[in-house]
Amino acid sequence: MAHLFFGYFAGMIAITSVLVVALRNPVYSALSLLVMFFHVAGLYVTLHAEFLAAVQVIVYAGAILVLYLFVVMLLNVKRDDRYHSQWRIAAFICIPLSIEFLVLLSGDFGAAHREPASLPVEPLASDNTLAIGQTLFSTYLFPFEVASLILLVAMVGAIVLAKRDISENEAKNMNRVSGAQ
Amino acid sequence: MSEFGLRLAISLTQIAAVMGIVVVTVLLLTLAERKVLGWMQDRMGPMEVGPYGILQPFADAIKLFFKEDIIPAGANKFLFTLAPILCLIPAFIGFAVIPWGPNWTIEVGGITVKPFVISDINIGILYILAFASIGAYGIILGGWASNSKYSLLGGLRSAAQIISYELNVGLSIIGVIILTGSLSLVKITDAQAGWFWNWYLFALPAPQIFAFVVFVISSVAETNRVPFDLPEAESELVAGFFTEYSGLRFAFFFLAEYANMVLVSCVAAALFLGGWNAPYPGTILELLGAPSLAWVENIMWFAVKAYSFLFLFFWLRATLPRLRYDQLMKFGWKVMLPIALANIVVTSIAVFITQ
């Protein structure tokens, strides 16, 4: 039963991921990405990681992809072929990756020979959320804080980039208004 | 296999019962809204169909069923068809984790059943948030697929609005989750038993009054109701994202909006107002010597709380004018968000000190 579910989710993830880059209409691409996010969440559920599944849907499907759709619709790019002919860059990235993949699969580096990394909690614990919280805030506290700092920096950077500079005239007007008050 | 079959049959019965209740509630709401608005504006409301107009919802439903279903010539047929369904499913699926009554178990044919809880998953509230965020896709895609500028503008407005206010909904319930230590709605409701000052709205050490206000305002915004109904502002955008929709597909959007209202009312009742718990310990029916009927009283309390919220929605609609778009965004990000964040900090400190 578990294998059946895994096969379904993995197959759908593979198909929809290919569709994301293969479809010509960007809105359809975004939709197949949505289907893919749901199946990744389904994979998490089969691993008894309900919290991750919910976060996957809330963050990726609920927030990030909606913004993608937003941009796609505002730009209204219909069947734009500009981004479909970047073979050189694609090859440059994909060939080393696939070589690495083959080496990992064929060589002695496979995970089968190694001892699995010791997990601090049992993966099938009944309260998955509690386990994630405790691990995140004890063992991995420093990486967690670093990650949140990076996100904060990115947020500040985005605000600085998007902020409209106040021109001198406007600044003068503002000063005059505040001076009058 | 027969046990599996029995389990399946019981689950399907529960699902059918809840769906039935929600649909009946939506039918009632469409009438109640027009009646309440009518009375508040000193008129009668619908009076023609049936005595006092009580058959009006059925007349509306029949009208929508038999209306011609038009797909605009320039529309994207696939997405135009998909959008109302994408809107409706998330609105109904969230009811699966709402505890309607006490967390009892009964034996049916050898297996234990919880009659008032369809499923008690330990991420209950996150499940509702996850599917609520999916509802935005129906609106955006419906707006885009209609190939009309009013629809597109309505859809985009709605996307921005739902993302902004969803954040506030998520942050405002964190205080409750800190106090309970669980994401399961069943456990959150159970933890509020006893007198009404045990409800998280008033509970020590950190009363969630501010969180409650943020939650209510944000959920009004998330369900696109007045005064936050910019995605369907009729004076600016004809009817917003469903301008081009008619017949049954329009009915789907309509149903989804009302089902969402019912859902946020149920969540607010369960999180902040003790859910099915009465404001006093136990139940009166139990004291009168009928403990097996106590669930009736509990469900009545849940219904009273949920319906008070629904009344609030109508009340707001009759009272407040619509916000401007920049006011909406400014209010969401500069007022609601800081309050919700401050509430998390205060609640965490209070819980840390008292533990």
Closest residue to A61, CB basis, from B133, B159, B183:
B133
Whether A30 has a pLDDT exceeding 90, the answer reads no
Residue A85's pLDDT band (boundaries 50, 70, 90)?
Answer: low
Residue B228's pLDDT band (boundaries 50, 70, 90)?
Answer: confident
* 3.40.50.1370, 3.30.230.70, 1.20.120.1200, 3.40.50.150: CATH of A1-82: 1.20.120.1200
φ and ψ at residue B112, rounded to 5 degrees:
-85, 135
Whether B290 has a pLDDT exceeding 80, the answer reads no
> Does B127 reach chain A within 8 Å, measured CB to CB?
yes
Whole-number pLDDT of residue B54: 82
The token pair at B33 is 């809204």
Q: Once rounded to an integer, what is the mean pLDDT over residues A147-168?
A: 84
pLDDT tens digits for range B310-325: 898 888 888 888 888 8
Residue A76's pLDDT band (boundaries 50, 70, 90)?
Answer: low
Closest residue to A129, CB basis, from B123, B127, B131:
B123
Closest residue to A70, CB basis, from B123, B156, B166:
B156
> Does A75 reach chain B within 8 Å, measured CB to CB?
no
Contacts of A62 in chain B (CB under 8 A): 129-130, 132-134, 136, 163, 166
pLDDT tens digits for range B236-267: 667 677 777 777 888 888 888 888 889 999 99
Residue reference for tokens 């919280």: A133
Closest CA to B191 of B180, B181, B183: B180
| Chain B nearest-CA residue for A74 | B156
Mean of pLDDT over chain B: 83
DSSP B351: H
- CB-based contact B122 A126, cutoff 8 Å: yes
ipTM value for the complex: 0.79
Whether B233 has a pLDDT exceeding 60, the answer reads yes
Closest residue to B127, CB basis, from A54, A66, A129:
A54
The token pair at B29 is 């709401």
The token pair at B134 is 């999916």
Amino acid at B165: Y
Closest residue to A58, CB basis, from B133, B159, B160:
B133
Whole-number pLDDT of residue A153: 94
Whether B170 has a pLDDT exceeding 60, the answer reads yes
| Chain B nearest-CA residue for A62 | B133
Whole-number pLDDT of residue A78: 57
The helix (H) or strand (E) run that includes residue A72 is: helix A65-75
Q: Would the CA dihedral through B134, B137, B142, B145 be positive or negative?
A: negative
The token pair at A102 is 């083959």
Contacts of A129 in chain B (CB under 8 A): 122-123, 183
Distance from CA of A36 to the nearest CA of B (A): 14
Whether A150 has a pLDDT exceeding 90, the answer reads yes
Residue reference for tokens 């699969």: A105
Whole-number pLDDT of residue B47: 81
Closest residue to B121, CB basis, from A31, A50, A62:
A50
Q: Once rounded to an integer, what is the mean pLDDT over residues B267-276?
A: 86
Distance of CA A40 to the CA centre of its chain: 11
Dist CA A156 CA A140 (whole Å): 25
Higher pLDDT, A99 or B156: A99
Whole-number pLDDT of residue B167: 86
Sorted by where each begins, the domain ranges of chain A are 1-82, 128-181
Ranking A133-137, B25-29, B106-110, B168-172 by mean pLDDT, the lowest is B106-110
Dist CA B76 CA B159 (whole Å): 19
φ and ψ at residue B27, rounded to 5 degrees:
-60, -45
> Does A52 reach chain B within 8 Å, measured CB to CB?
no
Dist CA A137 CA A144 (whole Å): 8
Whole-number pLDDT of residue A181: 45
Ranking A16-30, A93-107, B104-118, B324-338 by mean pLDDT, the lowest is B104-118
Whole-number pLDDT of residue A89: 84
pLDDT tens digits for range B191-221: 888 777 778 877 777 788 888 999 998 888 8
Contacts of B166 in chain A (CB under 8 A): 62-63
A-B interface: how many C-beta pairs under 8 angstroms? 72
Ranking A111-115, B119-123, B172-176 by mean pLDDT, the lowest is A111-115
Whole-number pLDDT of residue A143: 92
Whether A179 has a pLDDT exceeding 70, the answer reads no
CA angle B233, B235, B240 (to 5 degrees): 35
φ and ψ at residue B283, rounded to 5 degrees:
-135, 155
Chain A interface test: which of B85, B137, B139, B156 (most A C-beta within 10 Å):
B137
Q: Which residues pair with B107 in a beta bridge?
A: B112
Ranking A65-74, B310-319, B337-346 by mean pLDDT, the lowest is A65-74
Distance of CA A110 to the CA centre of its chain: 26
Q: Once rounded to an integer, what is the mean pLDDT over residues A65-90?
A: 72
> Does B124 reach chain A within 8 Å, measured CB to CB?
no
Closest CA to B31 of B258, B268, B304, B299: B258
The helix (H) or strand (E) run that includes residue B245 is: none
Is the preceding omega at residue B227 within 30 degrees of 0, hence cis? yes
The pLDDT > 90 percentage for chain A reads 13
Contact present, B126 and A51 (Cβ < 8 Å): yes
The token pair at B213 is 């206000």
Closest residue to A62, CB basis, from B76, B130, B152:
B130
Dist CA B340 CA B338 (whole Å): 5
Q: Once rounded to an integer, what is the mean pLDDT over residues A6-25?
A: 87
DSSP string, B41-73: TTS----SSSGGGTTHHHHHHHHHHHS-----T
DSSP E strands, B56-136: 106-108, 111-113
> Does A68 reach chain B within 8 Å, measured CB to CB?
no
The pLDDT > 70 percentage for chain B reads 97
The token pair at B193 is 């038993």
Q: Once rounded to an integer, what is the mean pLDDT over residues B68-84?
A: 82
Contact present, B61 and B134 (Cβ < 8 Å): no
Contacts of B152 in chain A (CB under 8 A): 73
Distance from CA of B181 to the nearest CA of A (A): 9
Give the count of beta carbons closer than 10 Å to the beta carbon of residue B334. Answer: 9
Contacts of B163 in chain A (CB under 8 A): 62-63, 66-67
Is the preceding omega at residue B99 within 30 degrees of 0, hence cis? no
> Does B79 reach chain A within 8 Å, measured CB to CB?
yes
- CB-based contact B133 A70, cutoff 8 Å: no
| SS3 (DSSP) at B111 | strand
Higher pLDDT, A123 or A105: A105
